[in-house]
């Protein structure tokens, strides 16, 4: 299962690299807007193909008509209550028709969000910036072994490893001296594990975690190959700074930006593609 997820991640990462490439010289909000536009339209189109559009349209028109009826007969309590009961019943039926398509759509949405997390969650380390590297072992007893970090000359290790048995981790503070993709190697006993520290002044794909915690974690953190399950290291994390998207002077989290923009674009174009939502 993990190999299938990793293969899917590699294909999607290449695809999103190509999508984002024309916008690399621009602020990241431009790439986010284009991806949200395409995602919103695609999701609405798919929703139209896998949902019962005729029933949804009928229910929406009936709910709209009953809402008007409530306004017209608000002085007649019995009629108003009956209409509200019909509205509630039709709303439940509408949600039933929409539930299965939304569950199906959650799969591609999760794949898209994992790729967005790779690109819009954090920034590369600035040359000269102090940054934390954490290695998590599968069993706290493994911390009794020799655990050390090896880096290339472009990365300076500034502190010895700090062991925290409660969270099964060893943490180092390092500093990248120049921009680029720098190899870091964690040694535990006779085993080694390679990862990469990204430094620079431009946004782009920045793997925060190389993981061996199963298929779900592999799916959520693309950009680095999964750690074999027989390795003593469970994960390696690098504590990059958070990327801040700015829209009209406001700072916004990438997830909020994606959900808001894709919903707005989806509803804006649903009439053009003839879909009832």
pLDDT of residue 76: 67
pLDDT of residue 271: 83
Cα–Cα distance, 63 to 89 (Å, whole number): 9
- First-last CA distance in the chain: 34
Residue whose tokens read 């007969």: 73
CB neighbourhood size of 81 (10 A): 12
Q: Which CATH architecture has domain 130-238?
A: Sandwich (2.60)
Model pLDDT, residue 123: 93
Scanning the structure block, which residue is given the tokens 């399950």?
Answer: 229
Q: Kindly report, residue by residue over 228-265, the tens digit of the pLDDT.
A: 888 999 999 999 999 988 887 788 999 999 999 999 99
pLDDT of residue 11: 93
CA distance 81 to 101: 31
- Parts of the chain with a pLDDT under 50: none
CATH 2.60.40 domain residues, the chain: 130-238
Give the pLDDT score at 2.
79
Give the pair of three-digit tokens for residue 166. 């409660």
């Amino acid at each position: 299962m993990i190999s299938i997820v990793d293969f899917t991640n590699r294909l999607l990462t290449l695809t999103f690299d190509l999508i984002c490439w024309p916008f690399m010289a621009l602020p990241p909000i431009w790439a986010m807007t284009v991806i949200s536009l395409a995602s919103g339209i695609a999701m609405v189109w798919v929703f139209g193909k896998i949902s019962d559009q005729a029933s949804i349209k009928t229910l929406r028109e009936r709910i709209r008509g009953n809402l008007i009826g409530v306004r017209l007969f608000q002085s007649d309590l019995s009629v108003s209550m009956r209409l509200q009961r019909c509205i509630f019943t039709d709303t439940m039926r509408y949600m039933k028709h929409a539930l299965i398509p939304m569950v199906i759509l959650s799969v591609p949405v999760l794949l898209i969000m994992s790729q967005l997390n790779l690109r819009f969650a954090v920034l590369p380390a600035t040359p000269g910036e102090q940054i934390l590297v954490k290695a998590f072992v599968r069993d706290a007893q493994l911390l009794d072994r020799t655990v050390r970090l090896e880096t290339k000359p472009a990365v300076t290790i500034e502190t010895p490893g700090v062991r925290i048995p409660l969270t099964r981790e060893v943490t180092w503070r390092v500093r990248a001296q120049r921009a680029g993709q720098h190899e870091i190697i964690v040694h535990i006993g006779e085993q080694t594990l390679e990862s990469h520290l990204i430094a620079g002044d431009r946004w782009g794909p920045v793997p925060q975690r190389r993981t061996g915690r199963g298929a779900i974690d592999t799916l959520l953190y693309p950009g680095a190959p999964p750690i074999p399950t027989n390795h003593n290291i469970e994960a390696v994390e690098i504590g990059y700074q958070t990327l801040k998207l700015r829209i009209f002077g406001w700072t916004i989290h990438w997830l909020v930006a994606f959900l808001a923009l894709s919903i707005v674009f989806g509803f804006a174009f649903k009439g053009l593609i003839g879909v009832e939502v």
